[in-house]
Amino acid sequence: MNLLSQYNKDHPEAFQEQKAVPMTDEYGREYTTMVRWVIRLSGGRIRDGRTATYTLMAVAAIIFIISLFLFFRGGGASLPPAREILRDTPTSGLRPGAEITP
């Protein structure tokens, strides 16, 4: 009898497929997906749901402030000077009843 089959015989629970244990807080509530991402991607710096939630709110606030800055800053495009706008405007008006022909 080989070693693996002997271990399987002695400890059958080791070979049972186990479900992934959901991350929960101290009250047994399961974290949301984004909170789990923050905890996982933080590299161990963030360890609980409250800190992860505050981190997500801070990131959302920073993105909101940046978007307001970009929106109100304008694209740098401004209207041309009045002289350029009026350049192609005829200086004398059309006669009443006259038709415009190309």
Instruction: For 12-56, write each residue's pLDDT tens digit.
Output: 887 777 666 667 878 888 888 999 999 989 988 998 889 999 999
Question: Residue ranges of the domains in the chain?
Answer: 17-74
Contacts of 23 (CB under 8 A, 6+ apart): 30, 31, 36, 39
Helix (H, G, I), strand (E, B) or coil at 30: strand
Instruction: For 56-84, write each residue's pLDDT tens digit.
Output: 999 999 999 999 998 888 666 677 777 77
Exposure string of 24-50, with b = 16+ CB inside 10 Å and e = fewer, is eeeeeeebeeebeebbeeeeeebeebe
